[in-house]
């Protein structure tokens, strides 16, 4: 594989870029011990799940032919003027000359899209497990359909990173921990909760933001709109599948385990967003940049926004328990509980403060904030 430890990317125009590997290497085996469930009565128990399955079948798309891969992507396209305006708002901790500032932007994009890629692989493996473990026939139908969706998502991000962007990152250690935890769980509802509600819920909010943050990159816009169409369905399926189970069938001990998991996963996902992988690759001082990513108002707001889809969905599932509420209040994400959940509204709502930010940027002539703050 090609390694570019100093942050010099392979120009995508040079040809193929290999995805960077994690310390453990190219292959990782995670043991799992879940029971595979036959459903011999073939009864349909949930009509609304069957409707989503039908919808999934009619909304299939082909990543090779529906996306215009001939679109040229210049990952370091931003001008000094655009970056200057953006940096006032972003409050970067030090001034970088134009090549380094462009490299920073390029690496942000590469890092974020790489995490999307790894998350999509997690979703692919998790959904394949759900085919086996969910006890309902219509659940198996739907999950099988989703396996094809997730394969397509891995396909598009892989192709974008290897052919267009030329900078990639291994799976972030916090995301890695979360994915391993989800994939090795023996309970099908935990796989759903972790992947469909938490990981994909965050991705859905991030994709929604991408419409603004990468407004002048038409290829990623095409990819994002197709992927989002699938993800909205996936998150809705997760909510519909789990709500009866969590609100009517589970014991309080069982629910307590789900509550613990939600809190732990929230912490891992928040920590994933500190971007600490980037600084050493670019030769930037982590002592300067880590506090920036932790405390700058824009970054704080940005991290909160990414939970805008997860919180109302957890509420719908009855998992916004006093303990979860307390944690969410501390993280300042509890306010999203009043937002529409994924069964009511598939779009990502943009909170007014962030909408105002992007409107200000656009009014200043910037279509792109100069930091691909998109995941």
Kindly list the residues in this chain that would bind Fe ion in the complex (CB under 5 A). Answer: 120, 123, 150, 153, 200, 231, 234
123 vs 205 by CB, closer to Fe ion? 123
Q: Minimum CB separation from Fe ion for residue 120, in Å?
A: 5
Question: Looking at beta carbons, which pairs linking 255-262 to residues 24 or more positions away fall under 8 Å?
Answer: 255/318, 255/319, 255/321, 258/189, 258/190, 258/193, 258/319, 259/319, 259/321, 259/323, 259/324, 261/190, 261/193, 261/194, 262/193, 262/198, 262/314, 262/319, 262/324
Q: Minimum CB separation from Fe ion for residue 269, in Å?
A: 15
Q: Minimum CB separation from Fe ion for residue 340, in Å?
A: 19
What are the residues whose beta carbons fall under 8 Å from the beta carbon of 74, sequence distance 6 or more? none
Q: Minimum CB separation from Fe ion for residue 175, in Å?
A: 14
Number of residue whose CB is nearest Fe ion: 234
123 vs 375 by CB, closer to Fe ion? 123
Q: Minimum CB separation from Fe ion for residue 153, in Å?
A: 4
Q: Minimum CB separation from Fe ion for residue 198, in Å?
A: 12
106 vs 316 by CB, closer to Fe ion? 316
228 vs 255 by CB, closer to Fe ion? 228
| CA pair distance 143, 238, nearest whole angstrom | 10
Residues 145 and 91 sit within 8 Å (Cβ to Cβ): no
What burial letters (b/e) apply to 279-318, b meaning 16+ CB within 10 Å? bebbebeeeebbebbeebebbeebbbbbbbbbbbbbbbbb
Crossing angle of the two packed helices 252-272 and 322-330, in degrees rounded to 10: 10
48 vs 285 by CB, closer to Fe ion? 48
Three-state DSSP string of 144-204: HHHHHHHHHHHHHHHHHHHHHHCCCCCCCHHHHHHHHHHHCCCCHHHHHHHHHHHHHHHHH
Q: Minimum CB separation from Fe ion for residue 126, in Å?
A: 9
Q: Which secondary-structure segment (H or E) carries 298?
A: helix 297-305
213 vs 342 by CB, closer to Fe ion? 342
150 vs 341 by CB, closer to Fe ion? 150
Q: Minimum CB separation from Fe ion for residue 11, in Å?
A: 28
105 vs 231 by CB, closer to Fe ion? 231
């Amino acid at each position: 594989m090609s390694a570019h430890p100093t942050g010099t990317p392979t120009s995508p125009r040079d040809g193929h870029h290999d995805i960077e590997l994690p310390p453990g290497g190219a292959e990782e085996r995670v043991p799992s011990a879940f029971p595979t469930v036959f459903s011999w009565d073939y009864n349909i128990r949930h009509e609304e799940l069957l409707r989503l399955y039908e919808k999934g079948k009619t909304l299939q798309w082909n990543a090779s032919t529906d996306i215009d891969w001939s679109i040229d992507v210049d990952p370091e396209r931003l001008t000094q003027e655009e970056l200057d305006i953006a940096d006032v708002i972003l409050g970067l901790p030090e001034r970088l000359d134009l090549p380094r500032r462009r490299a920073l932007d390029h690496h942000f994009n590469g890092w974020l899209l790489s995490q999307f890629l790894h998350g999509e692989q997690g979703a692919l493996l998790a959904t394949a497990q759900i085919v086996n473990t969910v006890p309902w026939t219509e659940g198996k139908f739907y999950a099988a359909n989703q396996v094809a969706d997730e394969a397509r998502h891995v396909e598009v991000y892989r192709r974008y990173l290897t052919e267009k962007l030329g900078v990639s990152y291994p799976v972030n250690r916090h995301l890695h921990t979360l994915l391993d935890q989800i994939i090795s769980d023996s309970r099908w509802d935990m796989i759903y909760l972790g992947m469909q509600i938490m990981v994909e819920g965050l991705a859905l909010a991030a994709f929604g933001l991408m419409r603004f943050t990468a407004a002048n990159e038409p290829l990623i816009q095409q990819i994002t709109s197709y992927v989002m169409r699938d993800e909205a369905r996936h998150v809705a399926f997760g909510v519909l599948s789990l709500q009866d189970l969590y609100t009517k069938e589970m014991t309080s001990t069982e629910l307590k385990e789900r509550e613990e998991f939600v809190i732990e996963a929230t912490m891992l996902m928040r920590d994933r967003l500190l971007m600490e992988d980037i600084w050493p690759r670019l030769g930037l001082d982590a002592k300067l940049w880590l506090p920036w990513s932790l405390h700058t108002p824009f970054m704080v707001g940005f991290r909160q926004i990414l939970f805008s889809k997860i919180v109302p969905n957890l509420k719908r599932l009855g998992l916004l328990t006093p303990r979860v509420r307390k944690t969410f209040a501390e993280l300042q994400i509890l306010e999203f509980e009043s937002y529409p959940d994924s069964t009511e509204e598939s779009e990502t709502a943009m909170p007014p403060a962030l909408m105002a930010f992007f409107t200000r940027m656009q009014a200043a002539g910037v279509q792109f904030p100069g930091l691909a703050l998109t995941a």
